[in-house]
Structure 1
Amino acid sequence: MNAFPGRQPIRGDSLIIWIDDAMLSVKGAITCQGIVEAGQGYAVLTLPDADPEQRRALERCRTYGFELYLDGRQIYSSPALTLSGTSRTGDGSLVVKGSP
């Protein structure tokens, strides 16, 4: 289950994410997708932006990994990732981009 995510979005309803030395839990509409830019693969997470402290922790982290769940069942587990950047969507969702 640690394969890199494909180009088709994987949708879940909860996420456990390890950042540096902490663990966060996120609930809501979550999407994970693999993209390739300039020959480099990235995992892109789109998260609801409900908790400002979680958002700041994600924006400051250097490394992270996550497990994505749907209806209580794990559907994806990432490898260790290095943060490449964060951004926002028009609706305020947080986008986190990282590479293995």
Structure 2
Amino acid sequence: MSSPDARPMHGDRVDLIADRTSFSVVGEIIVRGVLQDGRGFVELVLPDADPQRRRDLEKETGFQYWLYQDGALLYASPPLQMRGIRWAGGDRSLILTGSP
């Protein structure tokens, strides 16, 4: 399992565990590495079907996730610090940004 880089990884399910919540999301999932101001981050792009989930995640300080495609584990993240969360209104996606 290679770690996310500038080439996006695509999956159809993600299991996410945060400090106070855990859940699975099914749909088009994208994970990509990004570089901002010389620092590396991971962006986890989720379909945003649940506004309550977004509000819950805005309170979190850390998370970890497992990305799957057709039932096969593609990537298991290390524990990450939540660096940001935003909603991309155009494609109705929720974008979590984290770093080790």
The TM-score, its normalising length taken from structure 1, stands at: 0.92
Shift of 1:7: 1.0
Q: Name the count of aligned residue pairs.
A: 99
Shift of 1:63: 0.3
The 4+ residue runs of structure 1 with deviation greater than 6 A are none
Q: Using the alignment, how far apart are the partners of 1:96 and 1:54 within structure 2?
A: 12
Shift of 1:4: 3.5
Structure 1: tracts of 5 or more residues without a match: none
Partner of 2:11: 12
SS state at 1:60 partner: coil
Partner of 2:93: 93
Partner of 2:53: 54
Partner of 1:74: 73
Shift of 1:43: 0.5
Q: Using the alignment, how far apart are the partners of 1:94 and 1:21 within structure 2?
A: 18
Q: Using the alignment, how far apart are the partners of 1:21 and 1:54 within structure 2?
A: 12
On the 8 A contact 2:3/2:75 being kept in 1, the answer is no
Partner of 1:24: 23
My pick for the range that moved more, 89-98 or 60-69, is 89-98
Q: Using the alignment, how far apart are the partners of 2:15 and 2:81 within structure 1?
A: 16
Q: Using the alignment, how far apart are the partners of 1:83 and 1:99 within structure 2?
A: 7
SS state at 2:58 partner: helix
The code of the aligned residue for 2:99 comes to S
CA RMSD between the two structures: 1.2
Paired-residue identity, % = 40
SS state at 1:13 partner: strand
User: For residues 48-90 of structure 1, what are the alpha-carbon distances to aligned partners after superposition, in whole Å with 9 as ceiling and x for unaligned?
Assistant: 0111222222221100000000001110111111111111221
